[in-house]
Structure 1
Amino acid sequence: MALNPRLPSQTLPVTDHRGYPLTQNVSLAADRLRIDETHRRIDGDISALGAAIDAEAAARAEEIVAEANARIAAIDAEAAARAGGIAAEANARIAAINVETAARMAAIATEVSERASAIGSLEVENSLLRQRLTEEIAQRKTLQSDVSALQSSLVASATVDTTNASNITSGKLSKERIPNINELTEGRLIVDNSGRVKLPYQPAFFAYRNDRNFVPKNHPSLIYGAGVRVVWDHLVTNVGNHYHTSGPQAGRFIAPVNGLYQFTYAQYYGAGDIARGRIARGHIVQDKAGTMAIHNNWDPSRTGSWQGSCTTMLNLNAGDQILCVVECGDDSIYFEKNHSWFCGHLLA
């Protein structure tokens, strides 16, 4: 039983075996008991405090764990949502790229198909052109052979068989004079079954103007004695394209070969005044040799318009140029296909 520290110590008149009084030992024992009790209380307080701290720490740890789990869950949810959005956007972009790629592939396939078809067409056309060229070459060789045979036959007929005059009548060669005449229907020279010779490549042209334009009186470019070149810009025919309607040679016929040529120029004039049109050779030079002119001789009593024309034959060298020149003092000049024209052709 513990002693009450508040009670006075009991004094016993005894001593211990060493001779010390027993009262002193009793006081020490009481102090020790009090110290032990204090230690026990402190230990209990420490234990209680430790338990409280442990409980609070456990509760706080649970709160931290719960908060961390909640944050982790929120982060996971946000990450899942963002991943879902990114996946959806990526899928949408992939789908759009696939659509665009499919469209481009279809366009490329269509273009490739069209080009392949065009190449096929060109190959077919090329094959046909090669075949045609081969046929043309063979035909030309045949024609050259026929022309050689014709020349030989004509020479033989002219130099050997001159007694059979009945075969040559009115300037025609009979079929007896030209063997296989039915075959001579193509090329530069055509001879029909009646012996008529045609020259489809003989240079010839017929040109006119169709602007129905009166050149006004006293026009500066048409002063009498100066002259201006007329460009006949519409063609009825132009065998060999030796007459030019445009470019630096517009209005000029350029002789392709040496020979005798015939030209005709017709012009429509106003009433009562003086004008002149010429077929000029080479370039515009008044009174140049070989020039043929239409003169409008003024008659005060004449009130109507008139038309004049001139025709000339000229020996030309290849490259010579022929053109029309008009001049007027105070007259008007009218261009229209039914009234004014320029034509010419190779005679021989």
Structure 2
Amino acid sequence: MERMRAARLHLPDRSLVVEEVDRPVPGPGEVLVKVEAAGVCLSDVHLIDGTLSPMYLEGDAVTLGHEVAGTVAATGPDVTGWSPGARVVLQAGEERRGRTYTRGVDYDGGWAEYALATASTLVALPDTLSFEQAAIIPDAVSTPWAAVTATGDVRPAEAVGVWGAGGLGAHAVQLLRAVGAYPVVAVDPAPAARERALEFGADLALDPADPRFGEKVLGASGGVGLAAAFDFAGVPPVREQALTVLAPKGRLVLVGLTDQPLTVTDGTLFSYFQQRILGHYGSESHHVQQLVRLAEGGRLDFSRSITDVLPLEEAASAVRRMETKEGDPVRLILRP
């Protein structure tokens, strides 16, 4: 059995260790992918610190990494349409027995030299799109894309707000601009995050503690309020603030995760204005395919999202940088 390096999370003590493991062998319907780039996400940080835990993992250790791009190394029996050397990006998860399994959480992911994938989770990658940019499309880009185009159903010229301009939120700003939303208001307490939001296309970037916050949002939206507000922070005060500047029939889309209660301070006004609160999680396979196509056609560029590329051995350092926001990263990439 051939061996490979992998960054493994051992759940009993939440330790992350780069170690040698057996290289997987593709079975029926499976493809072995040589990993060229794998994204580091805050979800990985939360898996390590214990905030998140796998729901369907068999065993007590898992190779992290749900944002993965590479080349086909080998195919299992009955796999057609894929040949060694083909450039691919992997969906961040798949459906099994009516449940959603997440790569790098419920089964081994891409923080390794090789990753095993069901053939149906592969998306062809054009030569014009780098592995680094492609790797972050599942989740970092596809999650806000699905939130904007599906759950939020944003239309051209609608006023929108984005709370939290980190990795997902910054991409949401870029994508909202791409679909024609106007104005796009970004909200974040960190000056560096607000500056980044403006670079990604926000028309206005506000500190949530600004005493004239509501006045400025109403001014930017022509006195009507926001047609859609997106919470990428997962913080209860964010949701309460967003509701105060929501337009009649506006929708609040909850993307950031929290186990804290959701409160509507004035339920009468909420009902009178026929507003809506919508939960959102992840994306579907066609969202990744759409984004690859748009990037191939030059409609979207994710090059500024790649803050740094690190070797696999520095996985722990990458996690620390994401957790402490050292260097204000959008996305860090591991290269085995």
TM over 0.5: no
Whose helix proportion is higher, 1 or 2?
A: 1
What TM-score comes out, normalization by structure 2 length?
0.21
The alignment's TM-score, normalised by the length of structure 1, stands at: 0.20
